[in-house]
């Protein structure tokens, strides 16, 4: 793994979220909050989960060393897992764009020496971890891909055609 690979994932993440959000933008409040049988029962709850997780991972990544992105006023908040941060679709669309910009800033700050370092952090359950930084960053992007797939399925359940997650369009 190298910094080019991480930049590709950051670019893919931002572009794919933009494509997905074009589909979400047209949802009614009923569709945004519609209940499904998944662990996250609505598109709103999935988007809320993704936002909180991405936000908290960005805060954890700053434990590796001093990164400039973490000084943004956005990171002054304390967002807890299990709380609702996003309720309205328009609010999500704005916050997601801002967070994706921070993800790109973060990735641009990573250098080759960072990738193999150990990241020490405490997870949302209070458990301590010591893991390879580059591998954790890959997990971060994979987590987003997983949940965007769930959103795609929920859109299909509502007969909303979508195809927004093909990385082959970028390589």
What pLDDT, in 10s, does the model give residues 31-84?
999 999 989 999 999 999 999 999 999 999 999 999 999 999 999 999 988 888
| Multiple choice CATH, 3-169, 3.40.50.720, 1.20.120.450, 3.30.70.1060, 3.40.640.10 | 1.20.120.450
Q: What percent of the chain has pLDDT over 90?
A: 87
**pLDDT reported for residue 122:** 93
* CA-closest candidate to residue 75, choices 61, 56, 93: 56
What pLDDT, in 10s, does the model give residues 11-23?
999 999 999 999 9
Average pLDDT, the chain: 94
**pLDDT reported for residue 168:** 74
- The yes-or-no verdict on residue 148 having pLDDT over 80 is yes
Residue-range domain boundaries for the chain = 3-169
pTM of the model: 0.93
**pLDDT reported for residue 163:** 85
């Amino acid at each position: 793994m190298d910094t080019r690979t991480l930049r590709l994932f950051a670019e893919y993440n931002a572009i794919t979220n933009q494509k997905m959000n074009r589909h979400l933008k047209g949802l009614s409040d009923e569709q945004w909050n519609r209940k499904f049988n998944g662990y996250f029962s609505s598109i709103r709850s999935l988007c809320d989960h993704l936002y909180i997780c991405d936000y908290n991972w960005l805060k954890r990544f700053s434990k590796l060393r001093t990164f400039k992105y973490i000084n943004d006023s956005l990171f002054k908040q304390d967002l807890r897992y299990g709380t609702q941060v996003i309720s309205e679709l328009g609010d999500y669309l704005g916050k997601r764009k801002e967070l994706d910009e921070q993800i790109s800033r973060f990735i641009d700050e990573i250098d080759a020496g960072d990738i193999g370092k150990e990241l020490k952090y405490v997870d949302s359950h209070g458990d301590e971890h010591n893991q390879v930084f580059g591998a954790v960053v890959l997990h971060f992007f994979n987590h987003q891909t997983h949940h965007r797939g769930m959103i795609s399925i929920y859109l299909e359940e509502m007969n909303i055609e979508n195809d927004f997650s093909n990385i082959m369009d970028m390589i």
